[in-house]
Amino acid sequence: MYRQMMEDIDIVMQMDPAARSRFEVWLTYAGLHAVWLYRIAHRLYVNQWYTWARAISQFARLLTGIEIHPGAVIGKGLFIDHGMGVVIGETTVIGDYVVLYQGVTLGGTGKEKGKRHPTIGNHVLIATGAKVLGSLTVGDYAKIGAGSVVLRSVPANSTVVGIPARVVVLDGRRVDELDQTNLPDPFSDQIKLMQDRIEHLERRLARLESEQSADTCGEGHAGVYSSL
């Protein structure tokens, strides 16, 4: 346990340029404290001491502002930087050397049972305020931009941004440089279909209005001729 704690402190020293000493990290880093308390709670949870496990996780939340459900499975080297507001759900699985910033949510999308939280690969970075929701997978070395809402699985070695999140970089290349058929975007496709449909209906309405106007003019002329 002591060796693991030292490894956690070393990870913080490597990842955070603001960290000046190991003592400072040990004393003041809430993300580190949350992870250490999670490990105690998780061990209790695995051994079916559910109430005590939840009590410790809630104490950690009160102390650090970070809520990690004791049922989550977390690999080594998790770094939670400025972690206030981070929430990690019960069936979340997190790989090794993942970085989370403040306000990140790894949550579910409703009251579904079973695996309902995301699986995060190794060396993933999830930026400030990002929400990763549902039983999806985030591939290794992926990056999720600040404020993004991820509702679909994220490929490895990619960067996603936006609401809902979409791939903007894949394997070091921008998406607009790649073959778009390999990266379907149902959201944009649906908008394009709606735009095409609206244009079709507008043309049809204009044609009907033109025909109606012509018929009206024809009836008016016929009435004049009959009176003569």
Domain ranges for the chain, please list them. Answer: 2-184, 185-228
Helix (H, G, I), strand (E, B) or coil at 190: helix
Cα–Cα distance, 78 to 100 (Å, whole number): 8
| Cα angle: 96, vertex 167, 15; to 5 degrees | 35
- For 5-61, write each residue's pLDDT tens digit: 888 888 888 888 888 888 988 898 999 999 999 999 999 999 999 999 999 999 999
Task: Look at 186 and 103; give whichever has higher pLDDT.
Answer: 103
Count CB-CB contacts under 10 A for residue 89: 19
Q: What percent of the chain has pLDDT over 70?
A: 86
- For 149-196, write each residue's pLDDT tens digit: 999 999 999 889 888 888 887 776 766 554 444 545 556 667 888 888
Question: With respect to CATH, is domain 2-184 assigned 2.160.10.10?
Answer: yes
Taking a C-beta distance cutoff of 8 angstroms, is the pair 139, 156 a contact? yes
Question: pTM of the full predicted structure?
Answer: 0.71
User: In the predicted model, is pLDDT for residue 113 greater than 90?
Assistant: no
User: In the predicted model, is pLDDT for residue 87 greater than 90?
Assistant: yes
Taking a C-beta distance cutoff of 8 angstroms, is the pair 142, 116 a contact? no
Task: Look at 227 and 91; give whichever has higher pLDDT.
Answer: 91
Terminal CA-CA length for the chain: 109
